[in-house]
Chain A
Amino acid sequence: MSADAVVSLQGVTKTFGDGAVTALESIDLDVRPGEFVSLIGPSGCGKSTLLRIIGDLVPPTVGEVTVNGKSARQARLDREYGIVFQDAVLYDWRTVAKNIGLPLELLDWDRAKRARRVEELIELVELQGFAEHHPWQLSGGMQQRVSIARALSFSPALLLMDEPFGALDEMTRERLNGELLRIWEASGSTVVFVTHSIAEAVFLSTRVVVMSRRPGRIAAVVDVDLPQPRTADTREEPRFFELVTEVRDRLREGGLDEDRTAPGEGELVLGEGPV
């Protein structure tokens, strides 16, 4: 474990149902300050669970988790991270401004200070004119921007994102990817980002952590050496495609297509048997 790691996981294992299902096995991972790390893997590989373990929303069965040098629990109690889920999780009875300001209310910021900060954030996520709207009056992409603004409201050093753009259409997703990078650069925070889109992981990340099918293990870590800042053109660069291919290959090795491995072996046996 490096001393300055924002997130440090050591031997994290998570089992469900009294050990019947092993969701995560022996995860070791350090996330350094300012990094943008994506966790990618097939559905059910435990990447969302891993994110929740970092956030102390789910306890690990075995293993050590530290966030900013503290235990995960202490880090949560000290509000060291902001989190964004796949669905925006906005409270319908609160306006956009009040949703964004919710963490600040819980932190007992006074009204004026809160209003100023919320205004800044609305500008940051480009939702000017929607402050007094209610969540259900917004499109999916706008709702997710509110959710991101809320996670950033108290300037946490760490941002945890669980497939935040998974439910959005491709065009909205790419636009929000760009916005997220802009916000990441501006805020200087560290991001742990769960996705199952290879292109998204490569485009956004400084490192992509490839996870294997259940039980989830770290199958490979791919360093993304694409230059910053990344733009729409980044997606056209040959190096981008090379990295996408590499991540895809690592995913295959980790057993992305279980349908193909199992029957494939069967076919092999049939081919060999000259009965």
Chain B
Amino acid sequence: MSRARSLAREWVPALVVFVAGIVFWESLVRVLDVQNFLLPAPSAIADTLWADRGELWDAAFFTFREAVGGYVIGCSLGFLAAVVLARWRLLEAAVMPYAIAAGAVPIIAFAPITNNWFGVTGMTSKMVIAAILCFFPMLVNTTRGLRSVPPSAIELMRSYAASERTIFRRVRLPNALPYVFSGLKVGTVLAMIGAIVGDYFGGAPGALGVEIRRWVGIFAFDQAWAGIVLASLLGIVFYGTVAAVERLTMGWHPSVRGARAE
């Protein structure tokens, strides 16, 4: 009972805002008679989502696969690179400034270039740009996590004559998990951006980004908006899935479990 109530208290305000936002949007479009190319009504977008569900879903799923492919590659490489950097301090000192600077660079601007390099119509070029986008935050976060172990935690393991490998597996890695997951969560968003924007610069016919551009070109704004909504939903599902995995693997973490028992 109290659990249901606290859940309701947590979710109801956000739900109210959502419903109010949709109602406001719908009435704004109707009352002011906003032109379709400026802003379609939510009801029109919803109708299109349903009517063209087959085509939309195929397009979205195609781009989603580009995003996930790039995500897996970028995050894995970022993680492995972090493991290497965390092991050799000199290497970290040499590379880290650039990895951090890369976070301030709009890497997405390279999308036309990766299209050139890896083929406009293939999935590869989109995966590459998504992978590059995911790589740097993953690298920076994981390195930080592997490094930010209290010295006494390492000393304790050394007092047990633990090898570097054991220390890595038993202390550094679990200690880095919260950082790894923050890299993984940021990555979901960046991968979706990489794939869709990559499509915008040219991609396979039937990819979501390509289709959104085409729909805008032929004034099919309901479809374009429906595509955007679908991309957003997939992005949220992607993020939510990673967040759920985080909750499962880090049940021990104070940020995941509630307050102290005492």
Contact call A92/B252, Cβ cutoff below 8 A: yes
Is B2 in the interface zone, CB < 8 Å from A? no
Contact of A76 among B161, B166, B254, B260 (CB under 8 A): B161
Pair A106/B152 contact, Cβ less than 8 Å: no
Residues of B within 8 A of A137 (CB): 260-262
Residues of chain A lying within 8 A (CB to CB) of residue B252: 92-95, 134
Question: Is there a chain A Cβ closer than 8 Å to B9's Cβ?
Answer: no
CB distance from B194 to the nearest CB of A (A): 32
> B162 contacts A85, CB within 8 Å?
no
Q: Which residues of A are at the interface with B, using a C-beta cutoff of 8 A?
A: 52, 55, 57, 76-79, 81-83, 85, 87, 89, 91-95, 102-103, 106, 133-134, 136-139
The reply to whether A91 and B160 form a contact with Cβ atoms under 8 Å apart is: no
Residue pair B152, A138 in contact (C-beta under 8 Å): no
- Would A85 and B254 be within 8 Å (CB), given that A55-B159, A76-B161 are in contact? no
Is B158 in contact with chain A by the CB < 8 A criterion? yes
- What is the size category of the interface that chain B forms with chain A? 20 to 34
Q: Given known contacts A136-B260, A137-B262, is B153 in contact with A91 (CB within 8 Å)? A: yes
For A92, the chain B residues whose CB sits under 8 A away are: 252-254
Q: Decide if B155 touches A134 in the complex (CB within 8 Å).
A: no
Cα A81 to Cα B155 with chains together (Å)? 13
Closest to A130 in B: B261
Contact B261 A133 (CB under 8 A): yes
Interface assignment of B150: CB less than 8 Å from any CB of chain A = yes
Interface positions of B from 154 to 199, Cβ below 8 Å from A: 155-156, 158-162, 166, 170-171, 174, 177
Of chain A, the residue at the smallest CB distance from B162 is A106
A95 to B155 CA separation, bound complex (whole angstroms): 20
**Which among B155, B161, B257, B260 is the interface contact of A77 at CB below 8 angstroms?**
B161
